[in-house]
Structure 1
Amino acid sequence: MENPSLKNLTDPDFGKPPIKQNEILQRLGDPHIKSFNYMLDKGLSKAINDMTPIEFTLNDRKIKLMIGDYSFAKPAVPFGTIGVRNNAIFPTECRQRSATYKGKLMVTVNWFIDGEQQQSFQKDLGDVPIMVKSDCCHLSKMSPKQLVKHGEHEQEWGGTFIVKGNEKLVRMLLMTRRNYPTAIRRSGWKQRGALFSDSGVSIRCVRDDQTGTTNVLHFVTDGTAKLMFSHTKILYYTPLCLMLKCLCDYPDQYIYQKLMQGYEDDMYFADSVRTMLRAVHVENLHTSEECKAYLGKMFRVKFYECPEWSTDIEIADFILKKCILIHLDSNEDKFNMLVFMAQKLFRFAQDKCKIEGADAVMMQEVLLGGHLYLQLIKEKLSSWLNGLKINIFKHAKASNFSLGLNEIIKAAKSSGGLERQLELFLATGNLNSPSGLGLMQDKGLVIMAENINRMRYMSHFRAVHRGAFFQEMRTTEARQLLPDAWGFICPAHTPDGAPCGLLNHLAMDCVVVDAPDEDKVKNVPLVLTELGMIPLKYAETLDLKSSYVIQLDGRIIGYVDSGNAARLADKLRLFKIKGKVIPDTLEIVLVPLKKTVSQYPGLFLFSGPARMMRPLMNLLANSIELVGTFEQVYLDVCVSPEEAYKGVTTHMELSKTAFLSNLAQLIPMPDCNQSPRNMYQCQMGKQTMGTPCHTWDLQSETKLYRLQTPGTPLFRPVHHDRIGLDDFAMGTNAIVAVISYTGYDMEDAMIINKASEERGLAHGSIYKSEFVQLEHSASYFSRDKEGKNLAEFLDEDGLPYLGRRMVDGEPHYCYFDTDKATYVTKTFRGKEECFLHSVKLCGNMGVKDPPQVACLTYRIPRNPSVGDKFASRAGQKGICSQKWPTEDLPFTETGLVPDIVFNPHGFPSRMTIAMMIEIMAGKSAALHGRVHDATPFRFTEEDTAIDYFGRLLEEGGYNYYGTETMYSGIDGREMNAQIFFGVVHYQRLRHMVSDKWQVRSTGPINILTRQPLQGRKRGGGVRFGEMERDALISHGASFLLQDRLFHNSDKTTAFICTSCGTLLGPVTVVTRMADKPHQSDTLEMCRLCEHGKNIEQIEIPYIFKFFVTQLASCNINVKIGCQKV
């Protein structure tokens, strides 16, 4: 689609679901769904195979427990539910009744006694949340027509979990690239131990089941290296050569040769290697077995997963398998990788190779929801097996206990399931994990997919977060947008404020790849050998000084001569483009050796999932190729054919706007705006009132915003049509006059034509839903037939009539309370006028005899009022300052009166030229009945947009510059100045005065400080901040200050002794007369002066009294000087 059009408004098939879904929109949910499907198909079986069996002794017999098989069932009603026509549960039902969309997880438990397998049994681990549109969801592979039939939108793309009626999305986090040793400097590493430096080579190892752990090879300033590995969040450090000797039984000479291969001339490295090898012998460890026994003996206490009968060598093997370079299966591969890391570390420590860092996009990938869910299930299954072991021990305390199938099934029944833990994780986003799953945070992993409008909902699925840890850092390194992010991370779509640069959004064409075909990955070494790679077994005869190492997913597979490396990479790229023999998502990174200090050289290949890639035109093959973040850095990419240099340029962009995100591509002509304005529009577009959904009668969301009279923009980018945004329209085409007409349009304020507002300009409404649950299961909704005038307000079922205007104090609903055997009528409590939109009775299948629940949805009309926020699509936000009578507004020669009056002072400093172009383009579009293309980079400096639209206006008989002669609405005289006048697409934002106004005289206070509480909902005080305080001080308004900060805050009375100046001395003494014991007299006495002559009553802030008391507890006495005025 090259140009936008208005054909969709006159299409005869308008309103009918299309045959196919929109590919661009389906791409939003793809990474989430594919990662979840990977868990269902292969991931969980690989995780189960990798799980450590639980082994223990019971009555002198060795017992082993492990998970065998598993199965997920699609969401269905519980077995035995009466009156069910269709067993399937669909997502819309869960949204409406505030339930969780979940299916049953069954596992097979295998158990062994003294090595002999016993009869396996199946265990139901509960209903676990299922991702919408995954293979385990009923909506999977449905056509748009079927989706509409089942209460969904025709373009539903899935990717969310429905938990308690809310759509939850596992946040995509940026992680360090898997299985690649990265050279990093961190000052915090110096604190890890004596003589530790800030230099290290870090590798994030990830297995096929997505289990991840980090190993760091640290450079120690005495010339040695130590390897860090972690277990249950605790870090351990071991000498490098000890680990090398544990991995393989090689003599010291061979280890020395392997480490020095290619660096024979580096005397410092040679000396360091000899020192490290001697250090192992100093500990009296000479053979591989002795090193393993030593390692196992040291760590036996920490690795409780190993059975108690394990030898030290077996524990060492367990450590090597589960904690050291876990992405590699063979010890030889681990040995080779550690040798490579050591060589890179010493080059890095000597400043002979550049720092790589973890903040560059080339060193990052994405953590996907399905992969995190898989890791969580794996860990919870392991915890469940441990719980089963504990329950077996509990049952074994019985005198007649004999472990058999019945006993172990009984123990499994009381071990619970995974349902509650997984649901809690998705509901709160908090991770409760002993290992931490290799993440730097355990909170905020799940977000609510807010559906304020279409743009807001879409943006959640492309958002990538750097991590909560970086939000607290003082440095700005993690927030910077580096050049290698071009085409992967959108430069305009990031919030301003605290999350700026940390919460980013993927560019339009960026894809997050899925797990590749394993057979094609196995073909890669064979293809490379045919193309000239020297396999690892022949590497000893090779001169490695003039060779590059070749790695595939963190495994060294061979070497290539540096002269042939570029040719080999180019040939491999052609195989990749075809995608028949090797995966088309393979990332081929050739880091060349340069004369200057540069990145550590080698040919690195990546085929794993969760990497960011984007399509580019390969000029050599003249075909589209997927290029990764690391790969792009060493390619030469041009934007247009004119920029290509023959023999140098390798790739070309598919589109000039491919580097922008979905939302940034909806900004009209962003190339004509100042960059912050484009950032503001990306944020404000997500706060616009619009059309969030089509299923208004099926909604139970707490709050939804709806614009009643949206219009399609007349000046818009082609992306607007590509994603069908007119189906979820937002914004209004308004006639705008750029004129400083009254004093009410200063400082971003704007005036709205009162007549336009009365005719429905930007009229909106809010939909609010509330659930009413009865206390007892036998109680039911019903109208009290004897209740006076109840029929006027409530229907026979005890619930209000549809469309009824709800007024505070009127009957809300009525029910029969079986416990008290009476009818109970509840009254409506609401501060503003609303109408009942829908009533739904909700079922609850998870509980036996559930109480009745009704969901009531109200519609609150919201006309634009003074103080409501509006914005144009150029980031020009402003509030409505006045509704001006139409007869007092200026008018043109043709009788047009503006809907909105915009202050001209908003243009010069903001430099939003795109809005000026839009005023002219919107005017010419309305004039000629066309829609104009606002896609960026269409116009040039020679062929300008202003000239094009100016000529169109001239053809229609208007001024070339978009100005018009206007007449004053007050006295009818012609204005001397020519007024810029046209059509702009305005957005009404969700920030409304009706939701924000706050007033208070007295109300709830803090118990400790006796100052008003904060928060509008709690009846708190109106905020009086530092700036307000400074303003009153600078005006010298002392009475106002006293009123705000004293009388309306924590004013209190206290007694003070004027002679010693203490607040804490005066106490009230009660005296009783001997002859009249029932009468008493009170007198204030000072404990320090021992008399009450100088006691006075004063008014002070309570917080001061509290402060004096606190200081007294620290043995500090406060004396106050007092005198009578």
Structure 2
Amino acid sequence: MNLRRPSLLKKGLNFSDMATIIRCVRTDQSAITNKLIYVNDGNACFSFSLRRQEYFIPVGIILKCLMDVSDAELYEHLTAILTAEQAAADTPENDDQQSTLAETALVTAGVGAAGVVAAAAAGAAAGGETSSASASASAAAAAKLGTQFVRERALVLLSHPHRLGLFTRMECLAYLGKNFRPAMDVLESKSDAYVGQQVISEYVLVHLDKPKDKLRLLVFMLQKLWSFVDGLSQEDNQDTLMHHELYLPGHILNIFVKEKLQGYLQKIQNHAAQELVNNPTTTDLRASNWLRRLIESGGAGGAASRSGAAGAGGGVGLGMAYLGKDIEYMLNTGNLSSPSGLDLSQRTGLTIMADKLNWHRYLSHFRSVHRGAFFSTLRTTTVRKLLPESWGFMCPVHTPDGAPCGLLNHLAAPCTVATDLTPPPLSSSSSSSALLPSTPRSPHLPHTPSTPAATPGAVVLASGLGSGVGAVKSRDAVGRAVLRCLAPFGLAAVGAGVPPPGPPPVFLIVIVDGCVLGHIHADMAPGAVKHLRCLKATGEAGIPRDLEVAFIPFSQQGTFPGIFLFSAPARFVRPVRQLPSLNPKATAAAPTFELIGSLEQVFLDVLCPDGSSSSPTRSGQASTTGSATHEEVRPTDILSVMASLTPWSDYNQSPRNMYQCQMGKQTMGMPLHSFPFRNDNKLYRLQTPQTPIARTTAYDDYAMDNFPTGANAVVAVLAYTGYDMEDAMIINKSSMERGFGHGYIYKNELIDASQGASASRGARFTPSGLPVQMLGRPANSRRFQKPSIDSDGLPRPGEHISSGDVYACTINTVTGKADETKLKGSEDAIIDAVTVIGTGPKTALTKASVRLRFGRMPQIGDKFSSRHGQKGVLSQLWPDVDMPFASSSGMRPDIIINPHAFPSRMTIGMLVESVAAKSGALHGNFVDASPFRPSTLNPPPLTMSLKSRQPATRRGGSRMARSSVAASPAVSTPVPHSKLQRPVGVPATPATPATPAAGAAGGAGKGAGSFTPLDLPNPVSSAKPGQTAKAAATPAGPAAAAAAGAGCESNLPQNRGDLVDTFGRQLVSKGFSYYGTETMYSGVYGTEMECDIYLGVVYYQRLRHMVSDKFQVRSTGPVNPLTQQPVKGRSRGGGVRFGEMERDAMLSHGAAFLLHDRLHTCSDYHTTDVCSLCGSLLAPALALPRGGAAGSDAAAALGLGLGVGVGYGTVGGELRQKKMVCRVCGTGRGVVRVAMPFVFKYLAAELAAMNIKLTLGV
């Protein structure tokens, strides 16, 4: 990458702010970052980090260290970037002028500086002497000179080693080794050239093994840097995803273990070398016994101990013993202890705990990508921005809304990470129109291959493993395959003595995984790339299917051109469909899919379908896509797994979709199915979950029915009482009692009987293997008997215990002291399971795990939310008899929310879900709620009989929507209104016999309608009001006639065919309003509400935030022994702290007297004696009793000596009648009792200790 960083100006003398950076990754995923920094004198410095210290080396020395090549050959390769016009302009007439300018630049820069520059304090100080203004001016001057000075830059690079007296490769290696010997761990017997070669091998372009490959890549980096300096190519954006790779957990663990093993082996090498020096006669490195002792005991015995090297050897053995501890420490804390830093930008926060609150949260852990803790400290928002290059790879919705916003992202659903193995082929299912979910599928996603989804056009992994599937990829093999495929297109491979064919505008470089493969003519490059894409889609000719083919054409002042191929792991890849314009074999009947990367996608034309069936590749029509070569598989491929579960997210405001991604991971649900076998510290479980009626295709793709997180609720949008203001919501009390929102919390308590055990305590276990400490108390002692403890000292499963009850007891076999474990908190619990645990197969059982189950019924203060980011707090459990009810069906809502929740938040998707799920419940099928597409794939007809309808087919078998309407049998007699719970004030109407032509039963009053059965056709007919379809003999009320007229299809809005119109007509077919509203009656007054109420079915989730875990209130409780004030903190039984800001709020509201109640009466209220004569708070004391020694002894016993009074306000017995006397005034006339905060008295005592007197005016 070409980067411009102002921090580079301080790296060294005359450094510029421009550099070319490459991150070199070995096959074991250990990496080294190399920088090529431009110096204003035309030179360049190559840098790398060694033990967290950055070193800079003139690039001319690195070039000479790589291969034995002549300066003329290097000069020819370096100047190959010149175009023909620039080369022709470089005439002999201009040689003198160019040489003069070059010499001036060299003299100005002072080229004779030291060869190797370390980024130490001296270097930073030297860099600081050059002002940024002069550096910018020099860079501008250099850019103004133009590319014609490439020749002069090349001369500067090649002449620099000559001035240091370095002419051959061995001399350069020796010079490099001499300077780096103190920093390298090599034996003293090794030569400087050997040390220099180690530096080149371990820190210079380490992803390449051959020196000639390193030389070619370094020459390319210099050409790209010069192009950047001259303004011919632009700066690369380091924050775009096109330049990013992933740090995978296995890779970090692998390089960490590698470094620890290398350090251990280095210790053994140093110790063995010391043994050879100290005891050359007795040391035999070929003796296996000596080596075994050296490794196991660190040389503690034998010749090592006799030579006095036992200390060093002990260090070796200690390092091996603690190798596993280091790995365990990193996994537990996330802190990386590494001397080199492993080329990571952070050393803390590398691990997180995989929380299994629900399945969504657990799954998101394995799909999350964090930019790094370093970027969270930056004040700029550049790194957090969502850039277009992230399309299809990073979800634009699934990111937190707090501090990690934009830094903690999640992979899109079809996006996966490339590995070292060749991926299997991509194909579509030909046996069914419903295809399996997007691939490559992550191994963490729940998936049943035999179960189809309801998504057309998805991508799947082929069931049979093709040739090469699972084989380990090799860069050399990929390079040879690419060379064979591009040879017909004129690819000129690089070789010894072969000069580059031409500059970039005419010839483009071809690089495979950072290795220069050759050059190809720019006119042949598009055809070659097209050929490569066709081969990689099928996996033919040895081309990996996940090969990234990034073709960057030449553009003025654009990205540096070339063909860059990548097959390394840790890259982002995702599937797209090839269009016939790219691959003629790609048709609608046999689509061809291709895995593309983040870099190549920027330079591709990918068609984004609108989700309709008119797409050229789906309908078989002629393609009118223009220059597009690829097409998205599905419109929802840009969303993550979590974001794709939100129904109709395209109808919501974008922040609400973000909130749902966070709240969906905080819901109580079904996190797992192995509750009896789990011992997690804390688990949440929803007791009565349901499957949503309105669901996206991703819900079935990932089998989310196995882990539901909510229930379908009948929701009314109504301002019914004052308890539904703001975000509050009302829940039907009867719905709650029937199981809506019921949940459990499982907590595990570990009882360790071996804590504090020692060998001196004697036997601690019984012959049966059970620990003696867990045995129950003696049966003959009643005070030891506990009703909740069994004979073994452990609780009985299923036992109900209350707060403070003892549920486990251990006994010390030596002292006989019992240790009881009591239930903490204020909630009752049930002993769910008891597990006795041992530390090994031959040891006794010393621990017990007790799983407690806490019931959590919904109560006031608990949080609920829909799937559209609409969260609310349960404000009241309203009785069922007082809830409003619908006039036609008598249906009462489960939840009432306020209408003000919609205008500002614009969650239109929730309104659509209400009518859609209502329609789905009436028709007995599920509704496709996927965004960017029509409502249902196969919408049912408007009139549909339950007798002729087959059960809805879903994945895993046939199921009906969990709706009482859909599951009820067809009825031929409507339910009259009198059979419903009729409120007071609504007259009963007689039942009217219904016939297929009679339609809805009429009656007096608007609320006298009847519920329309599913097997009846549309109750609206063409008969006149008050008449049936066959005769006008049946009387009909005006309300029924009005309802019939309103529901007539001829009165419906024009058929638009959109989402809302589809569901509206389906509701009309079942006798409901087109707009989803219903006439409702008040459950309190029994009168009809003036406006229709929006009533439907919405999937609601119960969040983990419950008032039982957060309430903090107390009347009496523990106090601070020093200040006598109540303690704070819920865990300690304290209250909410009343601080300074709360005091200011009281004063600003004119409620100053409440401060007396909060800060005095209910805090540390205390009464004490104060002398009104002298104003002393500490002088008043009890008068000493008279009567000689007896009185003195009594006073001393009471603590009255030294003028200290005891028990102020609490003195009892005889002393309560004693007189208080001021010890300063000598009289008790002025002593009065005053109420004050105890902390004030404590303050007076503290001031008195510092000889400061406090006087009160009483």
TM-score bracket, shorter-length normalisation: 0.7 to 0.9
1:899 is the counterpart of 2:899: no
Q: Which moved more, 1:251-260 or 1:439-448?
A: 251-260
Shift of 1:723: 1.5
Shift of 1:458: 1.1
Report if aligned partners of 2:607, 2:625 keep a CA contact under 8 Å in 1: no
Query: What corresponds to 1:841 in structure 2?
Result: 836
Query: What corresponds to 2:245 in structure 1?
Result: 365
Q: TM-score, normalised to structure 2's length?
A: 0.67
1:492 is the counterpart of 2:397: yes
CA distance in 2, matches of 1:253, 1:316: 24
CA distance in 1, matches of 2:516, 2:753: 66
Query: What corresponds to 2:903 in structure 1?
Result: 908
Q: 3-state SS of the aligned residue for 2:81?
A: coil
Opposite residue 872 of structure 1, the aligned amino acid is S
Opposite residue 18 of structure 2, the aligned amino acid is S
Q: 3-state SS of the aligned residue for 1:771?
A: strand
Gaps of 5+ in 1: 1-181, 1055-1065, 1067-1075, 1084-1091, 1110-1116
Aligned residues: CA RMSD: 3.8
Residues 333-383 of structure 1 deviation map (CA, whole Å, 9 limit, x = unaligned): 111111111111122123321121221111111111121121112112112
Residues 1002-1024 of structure 1 deviation map (CA, whole Å, 9 limit, x = unaligned): 98999999998875335566255
Aligned pair in 2 of structure 1 residues 364, 753: CA closer, same or farther (>3 Å)?
Answer: same
Query: What corresponds to 2:917 in structure 1?
Result: 922
CA distance in 1, matches of 2:1126, 2:192: 64
Report if aligned partners of 1:1003, 1:1019 keep a CA contact under 8 Å in 2: yes
Query: What corresponds to 1:212 in structure 2?
Result: 31
Q: Which moved more, 1:1097-1106 or 1:961-970?
A: 1097-1106
CA distance in 1, matches of 2:1122, 2:1066: 69
Which of residues 50, 64, 76 is equivalent to 1:231? 50
Aligned pair in 2 of structure 1 residues 701, 531: CA closer, same or farther (>3 Å)?
Answer: same
Which of residues 338, 361, 366 is equivalent to 1:461? 366
The size of the alignment, in residue pairs, is 908
Q: 3-state SS of the aligned residue for 1:342?
A: helix
1:378 is the counterpart of 2:258: yes
CA distance in 2, matches of 1:1011, 1:315: 70
Query: What corresponds to 1:290 in structure 2?
Result: 171
CA distance in 2, matches of 1:665, 1:1103: 63
Residues 985-1006 of structure 1 deviation map (CA, whole Å, 9 limit, x = unaligned): 1100000011011236898999
Query: What corresponds to 1:189 in structure 2?
Result: 8
1:807 is the counterpart of 2:802: yes
Query: What corresponds to 1:103 in structure 2?
Result: none
Opposite residue 555 of structure 1, the aligned amino acid is C
Which of residues 846, 865, 875 is equivalent to 1:871? 865
Which of residues 194, 200, 205 is equivalent to 1:314? 194
Q: 3-state SS of the aligned residue for 2:352?
A: strand
Report if aligned partners of 1:771, 1:855 keep a CA contact under 8 Å in 2: yes
Query: What corresponds to 1:733 in structure 2?
Result: 712
Query: What corresponds to 1:629 in structure 2?
Result: 598
CA distance in 1, matches of 2:13, 2:1237: 60
Shift of 1:603: 0.6
Aligned pair in 2 of structure 1 residues 1016, 398: CA closer, same or farther (>3 Å)?
Answer: farther
Shift of 1:424: 1.9
Shift of 1:478: 1.3
CA distance in 2, matches of 1:273, 1:1011: 79
Aligned pair in 2 of structure 1 residues 1045, 306: CA closer, same or farther (>3 Å)?
Answer: farther
Which of residues 57, 67, 77 is equivalent to 1:258? 77
1:714-1113 aligned within 5 A: 714-775=693-754, 776=757, 778=765, 779-780=771-772, 781-784=774-777, 785-788=779-782, 790=785, 792-820=787-815, 825-845=820-840, 849=843, 852-893=846-887, 894-939=889-934, 942-999=1056-1113, 1015-1019=1129-1133, 1022=1136, 1028=1142, 1031-1040=1145-1154
Shift of 1:586: 0.8
1:555 is the counterpart of 2:515: yes
Opposite residue 210 of structure 1, the aligned amino acid is Q
Opposite residue 484 of structure 2, the aligned amino acid is L
Which of residues 377, 386, 408 is equivalent to 1:503? 408
Shift of 1:406: 2.5
Q: 3-state SS of the aligned residue for 1:448?
A: coil
CA distance in 2, matches of 1:1104, 1:341: 74
Shift of 1:202: 0.9
Which of residues 533, 557, 571 is equivalent to 2:491? 533
Report if aligned partners of 1:965, 1:974 keep a CA contact under 8 Å in 2: yes
CA distance in 1, matches of 2:1156, 2:337: 49
Aligned pair in 2 of structure 1 residues 742, 1022: CA closer, same or farther (>3 Å)?
Answer: same
Shift of 1:207: 0.7
Q: 3-state SS of the aligned residue for 1:526?
A: helix
Q: Which moved more, 1:340-349 or 1:949-958?
A: 340-349
Q: 3-state SS of the aligned residue for 1:297?
A: helix
CA distance in 2, matches of 1:342, 1:312: 27
Aligned pair in 2 of structure 1 residues 263, 654: CA closer, same or farther (>3 Å)?
Answer: same
Query: What corresponds to 2:357 in structure 1?
Result: 452
Query: What corresponds to 2:67 in structure 1?
Result: 248
Q: Which has the higher strand share?
A: 1
Which of residues 540, 548, 552 is equivalent to 1:591? 552
Aligned pair in 2 of structure 1 residues 869, 826: CA closer, same or farther (>3 Å)?
Answer: closer
Residues 399-442 of structure 1 deviation map (CA, whole Å, 9 limit, x = unaligned): 99645433332232242343222222212221111111111111
Aligned pair in 2 of structure 1 residues 233, 906: CA closer, same or farther (>3 Å)?
Answer: same
Opposite residue 804 of structure 2, the aligned amino acid is G
Gaps of 5+ in 2: 87-146, 298-316, 422-472, 587-591, 610-614, 618-622, 758-763, 766-770, 936-1054, 1169-1178, 1180-1191, 1205-1223, 1226-1233
Q: 3-state SS of the aligned residue for 2:637?
A: coil
CA distance in 1, matches of 2:374, 2:380: 12
Aligned pair in 2 of structure 1 residues 215, 1001: CA closer, same or farther (>3 Å)?
Answer: farther
Query: What corresponds to 1:12 in structure 2?
Result: none
Q: 3-state SS of the aligned residue for 1:918?
A: helix
Q: 3-state SS of the aligned residue for 1:261?
A: helix
CA distance in 1, matches of 2:207, 2:1121: 56
Aligned pair in 2 of structure 1 residues 603, 1028: CA closer, same or farther (>3 Å)?
Answer: farther
Shift of 1:815: 3.9
CA distance in 2, matches of 1:422, 1:216: 31
1:610 is the counterpart of 2:570: yes
Opposite residue 289 of structure 2, the aligned amino acid is N
Greater RCO between the two (CA within 8 Å, min separation 6)?
1
Report if aligned partners of 2:479, 2:517 keep a CA contact under 8 Å in 1: no
Shift of 1:977: 0.9
Report if aligned partners of 1:535, 1:557 keep a CA contact under 8 Å in 2: yes
Shift of 1:583: 1.0
Shift of 1:1030: 5.8
CA distance in 2, matches of 1:321, 1:749: 66
Which of residues 544, 551, 570 is equivalent to 2:503? 544
Residues 642-675 of structure 1 deviation map (CA, whole Å, 9 limit, x = unaligned): 5964551100111111111111111111011111
Report if aligned partners of 2:1123, 2:1239 keep a CA contact under 8 Å in 1: no
Report if aligned partners of 2:788, 2:801 keep a CA contact under 8 Å in 1: no
Q: 3-state SS of the aligned residue for 1:197?
A: strand
Opposite residue 996 of structure 1, the aligned amino acid is K
1:571 is the counterpart of 2:522: no
1:97-116 aligned within 5 A: none
Residues 210-233 of structure 1 deviation map (CA, whole Å, 9 limit, x = unaligned): 111101111233433211101111
Opposite residue 552 of structure 1, the aligned amino acid is V
Report if aligned partners of 1:677, 1:875 keep a CA contact under 8 Å in 2: yes
Aligned pair in 2 of structure 1 residues 616, 897: CA closer, same or farther (>3 Å)?
Answer: same
Structure number with greater Rg is: 2
Name the % identity.
43
Report if aligned partners of 1:703, 1:767 keep a CA contact under 8 Å in 2: yes
Q: 3-state SS of the aligned residue for 2:688?
A: coil
Report if aligned partners of 1:762, 1:864 keep a CA contact under 8 Å in 2: yes
